[in-house]
Structure 1
């Protein structure tokens, strides 16, 4: 039996039930591959490794049984039998499937327990992920290392800050914010992190642990340390020539080895969204040398994995010459670059394949956990094929989104190409829809609905889908549009409706009809898709209604009641639909956070973190990070967001006469944010009619509200 067979048997039972009827065997072959046959109700999967075996199982389910396993598939699958099939084979196109972004550990999974992690690791294996970022529990390694370096535990926990912000601490963006870190959290996540790593390794994955990048507690910052800023936060970094730099790096790595073991991959981002504190071209190279020295002092086989985001985010600083000098200080076998926004701003093309360093082509798409479905899937196959045909092709493909469990078709299109090229995205989308819901009478209608999505929200060709890509509903209200007659607002609103609205409306209509005819599908993926598409349509309705209210008010010189009322009513109506699906409720998010509390002090920190990161992010006075997450969630849409626009509407008459009203609005918004952080959202409505009925109500009321 191969060493990964036990893990795969467990996966098969979770996907197919206790009588899975699947047998796994080793497959001697070059490269990562699988093959399978099925006869007499038994599926036999041979594979070179555990992840390839999982991909083979998923390929059988998808191509033979017509069922796929997505983030929201109800498990175990209700397959009556395992159909026979002649031998089929698969060979991976690349060595690695990469997964996650440091931000994901804040925007999606900070409050997960083992049940959520087990389900996610299964998804990873089935979709070919071999190299996941693994940051859960890293705070335990930092606590161990810094106490060994002489700091007391309370000081270290204060430095680490709130649990919801830990990933930004690991990237060196902030410290000591929204904390302190509860002691029980550290131990609980040490145990959870070890369990996550054990399961990932059981599948044959090679997890990537965090690395030290020079960011230290103020108490350890010597005379040569330098302060730097990010989004209003100040942190301290050691000079790379300071002997403490590699010493601390080695101590942290040794702590990881002791607590979690290692697969010799370490993710570190010493610059991320901060320019190097020294503009001299040699400085980044010195940081690279010190970072590697610290890693290798504890693990001689260490390989540094670094996101290429700084080269994009500060492209004017990171010239080709500077990048080449930096990368030249690192042996090729000691680094892997993650080109994490390659679907829009590929750095591999600009930087000539990263000077021969191994690199990963990754899609980002989602920023902060935005709930709007959007993307340009048609471009993905050509982009990936171009990269694979380059002189220095990527060693892997992957996903580096800031939050998961959104836009499933887009992200599965990427993971499918780890193993198979995709020629016709339309045909791929048809197959995706059929397998997502399973075979049945509903197949044709839902396939047509997905073609409509491909012709609307998923037809964002050439658009920059970035943090600024959002509508008015989740944006911070402002009176600025009154000053230019809503010219800029009109351009923004029209820019967000780049597709024929009736195409989206028809797709929504088909999904609603399917939910009414086949209610058994609603608890699974259909319910998720129904909400996503409802958000897509209603967000654009809110944009249009807001524009109408602003335009008429500016023309009349006074606030127009009917238009404002119509705009605000959208929030209340959408809130009801969102409350019908648990993952679209703020209450679920906060309950997850509080599940880790062991006392009153813990509850206060965890509650604050859960509320803060998806609203004001940092301070209530309003910053560039305000509303970054922009989530259409029940508890936010009909409460927090609606209340802010109500405050805006209440001051609209005054703002038309006095431009200084903007400052008064800012103060009212600050007070509303403080109230939300203190009191949270109102409970959901008690008279909800169910997701299909609430969706039908929205469709009837607003289905013709967008221009044809």
Structure 2
């Protein structure tokens, strides 16, 4: 099977194999394989695994398929590496071809909500995950601030003006999309330099696997110093104001070209560029022909620097502002670009597919993408059964999707959903139950009774939180009181509305979820090593799912009893607040579920006290108030069930609510303004001081999970199940 010289990607994949397998990786051999797409052939005999592939990603997928099918183990975000394999079992020849040309990954927002503070070790692990899961086309924006600094320096701005325009490091992706500028900064010179180096290293590794990274491009968004002397208009996003050039101004094309040239000089190019000139912002001119003018100017700027440029655009605006984006406007925009110069990402296709609404985007190549997660929220939930059918429909259309993508706003949540999407880059999933059983066994690397218990637990999850058929999992939906901003607006007259909110968040029977949770706990108690890996993540995620509904139940009890009494009911309020304390203990058992871990990663980049202040502010701000403490527009958007937030920030807010409940009941409507001010003050305190330390005297995760389950099992219901039309 193996022939020819060693392929150029072999050393890169060999490095991945060593990080995944440890010493046994010495028994893996790689060779080139001819093919027009992504293909591999692999077999194992006599303790040697031989892989021939068209590219490094296909070789990595081959390795992962072998591990899953013949070693009973997979590599996920939480897998402890290297794996404990001591030999490689024999396996017959397997040949496979990818079902689609591309596997796309990331969303601009992902870079703010997951990896703004990553170092090379974090990125190396992530790029390995990408290769193993068939990602060929990652969005790559690390270090783009260095590109903008270089380009705007050539355009006459000084260092202070540019760094002020760029704003804080945690918000850079939103700056790159044109949503805001000069916010939560300034950006330090040391950050720009270090992330230029990090971005180059990330791109080098991605390209070494054979990936084709997508680099950012100009969106028309400019610093105010440039806007003041150009044809420009103001636009608004979530309370932020920015300036955008009119495409008729020659500066539009010139700046686009300067940015592309600076980027090519610093990072090279694979001729793919991402720009979203209208992301959640209505164009500054309502003329239906205006979007086409923006499109033409954007592409002209790119092609002035790179004649082979292809523009990748997220179709999100067509969904988010569908009243504005009529078929006429969308077609005017798309028709302004030759079909071979644009690639469209249908960003939320698992819920709101646009490809069939806009006739496969007027002939443009397009990507079916799954979003699911907004802001990095930690609530588990998805429609696992419905998603494969959506993908199959996209692949069977008149102009099939050119690829499948993972476009979540944050990673490290709902791994089963994203693994299922990624698997379909290479494999059809005709039987979800069989796929899930294999996923579970491979995820934990378990056999026998333990595997049976885990599979039973996941059947329960499939019948509860992952049975969200017809449910809109979106930022504007009620997510539960744990991370919600307290209010008296529905007290005392709106109790029925509060109950309806809680019911809509419960599209399943709580007892089914509770049984699944207990099965996971039992496995963790039997094998105390398993929670160090993916089981630990899943224990926390399922615990959060159940306790979020317990909190809703306890909140309703507190409100209903207090309304009945005409005064705050201390026992019910105490019980409600105790949920926060108890859940916080369980969360503290996994570092990635602590606020302290997030903030420590941010502060690891601090070069001096001024950097430290900006980094701490950014880390605290984006997952709480997001913008300013007096703006409700994005408050709690990225609500995280993290230790330090649940038992600190969120609990403190509800304690303030409880303190004023007597006054709110005595004088409805008069206490809301006072509560708003007290909550604003609490937010400002958090931005200055951060979260309290993690709870002390913790048991291990299995112990804390059992303690939580014993205290609260059976307390999520009864809540009325929502009617079908409420979904």
Tell me which interval the TM-score lies in, with the shorter structure as reference length.
over 0.9
Write the deviation string for residues 62-105 of structure 1: whole angstroms up to 9, x where unpaired: 01111100000000110121000110011111000000000000
Q: Superposed, which structure 2 residues align to 1:179-578 within 5 Å?
A: 179-221=185-227, 222-441=229-448, 442-469=450-477, 470-578=479-587
SS at match of 2:356: helix
1:541 touches 1:705 (CA, 8 Å); kept in 2?
A: yes
Alpha-carbon distance between aligned partners in 1 of 2:494 and 2:166, rounded to the nearest angstrom = 47
Q: Distance in 1 between matches of 2:177 and 2:460?
A: 40
- Alpha-carbon distance in 2 for matches of 1:423, 1:456: 21
| C-alpha separation in 2, matches of 1:355 and 1:457 | 37
Quote how far apart the aligned CAs of 1:543 are: 0.5
**Counterpart secondary structure, 1:667:** helix
- In the superposition, the TM-score normalised over structure 1's length comes to 0.99
Query: How far apart are the structure 2 equivalents of 1:517 and 1:93?
Result: 40
CA contact (8 A) 1:622 1:670 kept: no
In structure 2, what is the Cα distance between the partners aligned to 1:653 and 1:375? 39
CA drift at 1:112: 0.2
Cα distance in structure 1, aligned partners of 2:503 and 2:428:
35
Does residue 672 (structure 1) correspond to residue 679 (structure 2)? The answer is no
Q: Distance in 1 between matches of 2:717 and 2:239?
A: 41
How far is the alpha carbon of 1:320 from its aligned partner? Answer: 1.0
Distance in 1 (alpha carbons) for counterparts of 2:200 and 2:245:
30
Tell me if the contact between 1:485 and 1:554 (Cα under 8 Å) persists in the aligned partners. Answer: no
Map 1:116-131; keep pairs closer than 5 Å.
116-131=122-137
Deviation of 1:223 (Å): 4.1
| Structure 2 residue aligned with 1:589 | 598
Question: Is residue 9 of structure 2 the alignment partner of residue 11 of structure 1?
Answer: no
Contact 2:348 2:370 in 1 (8 A): yes
Alpha-carbon contact 1:356-1:392 (below 8 Å) kept: yes
Gaps of 5+ in 2: 1-5, 719-727
Counterpart residue number, 1:74: 80
CA deviations 1:247-284 (Å, max 9, x no partner) are 10110001100110000000000001001110001111
Contact 1:481 1:550 in 2 (8 A): no
Distance 2:373 2:695 in 1: 30
Partner of 1:650 in structure 2? 659
| Residues 536-557 of structure 1: per-residue CA shift (max 9 Å, x gap) | 0001000111011111212222
- Per the TM alignment, residue 31 of structure 1 is displaced from its structure 2 partner at its CA by 2.2
Partner residue, 1:702: 712
Q: Deviations over 1:28-70 (max 9, x none)?
A: 1232111100011110011111111111110000011111000
> What is the deviation of 1:647?
0.1
Secondary structure of the residue aligned to 1:306 is strand
Paired residue for 1:101?
107
Are 2:640 and 1:631 equivalent residues in the alignment?
A: yes
Q: Secondary structure at the match of 1:362?
A: strand
Instruction: Give the aligned partner of residue 697 of structure 2.
Output: 687
The partner residue of 2:116 within 99, 110, 113 is 110
Report the CA distance between 1:481 and its aligned residue.
2.0
Q: How many residues align?
A: 708
Q: Give the Cα–Cα distance (whole angstroms) in 1 for the partners of residues 86 and 433 of structure 2.
A: 30
Distance in 1 between residues matched to 2:294 and 2:563, nearest whole Å: 54
Match of 1:87 in 2: 93
Q: 1:587, 1:451 → 2: CA distance?
A: 34
Q: SS state of the match for residue 605, structure 1? A: helix
Q: In structure 1, what is the Cα distance between the partners aligned to 2:716 and 2:312?
A: 46
RMSD after superposition: 0.8
Aligned counterpart, 2:611: 602
CA contact (8 A) 2:105 2:135 kept: yes
Between the aligned partners of 1:504 and 1:686, the Cα distance in structure 2 is 29
Deviation at 1:483, TM superposition (A): 4.4
The whole-number CA distance in structure 2 between the counterparts of 1:340 and 1:209 is 17
Aligned partners of 2:553 and 2:717 also within 8 Å: no
Q: Say whether the 8 Å CA contact 1:618–1:625 is kept in structure 2.
A: yes
Give the match's secondary structure for 2:42. Answer: strand
2:333 is paired with a residue whose SS is helix
DSSP 3-state at the match of 1:350: coil
Query: Structure 1, unaligned stretches of length 5 or more?
Result: none
Contact 1:239–1:245 at 8 Å: present in 2 too?
A: yes
Structure 1 residues 23-172: aligned runs within 5 Å = 23-172=29-178
Q: What are the Cα deviations for residues 493-550 of structure 1, in whole angstroms up to 9, with x where unaligned?
A: 0111111111100110011111110001110001110000000000100011101111
DSSP 3-state at the match of 2:211? coil
Q: Residues of 2 paired with 1:163 and 1:192: CA distance?
A: 14
Give, in whole Å, the separation in 1 of the partners of 2:648 and 2:490.
23
Q: Check conservation: 1:373, 1:407, Cα contact below 8 A.
A: yes
Distance 1:587 1:627 in 2: 18
CA distance in 2, matches of 1:248, 1:660: 53
Distance in 1, matches of 2:631 and 2:561, equals 28
Q: Contact 1:58/1:68 (CA < 8 Å) preserved in 2?
A: yes
2:593, 2:266 → 1: CA distance?
35
Tell me if structure 2 keeps the 8 A contact 1:141–1:256. Answer: yes
Report if the CA contact (8 A) 2:33-2:53 is conserved.
yes
Instruction: Determine helix, strand or coil for the equivalent of 1:19.
Output: helix
1: CA distance, partners of 2:202 / 2:524: 36
**Shift in CA distance, 649/622, structure 1 to aligned 2, threshold 3 Å:** farther
TM (normalized to structure 2)? 0.97
Q: Deviations over 1:582-633 (max 9, x none)?
A: 0000001000100001000000000000000000001111422000001000
Question: How many Å separate the matches in 1 of 2:494 and 2:614?
Answer: 43
Deviations 1:153-175 (A, max 9, x none): 11100000000000000010000
Q: CA contact under 8 A between 1:559 and 1:653: conserved in structure 2? A: yes
SS in 1 for 2:481: coil
> Is the Cα–Cα contact under 8 Å of residues 230 and 249 in structure 2 kept in the other structure?
no
Alpha-carbon distance in structure 1 between the residues aligned to 2:462 and 2:456: 10
- Which whole-Å CA distance do the structure 1 matches of 2:390 and 2:128 have between them? 27
Q: Could you give the per-residue CA deviations for residues 197-244 of structure 1, whole angstroms, max 9, x where no partner exists?
A: 000000000000000010000001134210111111110001101111
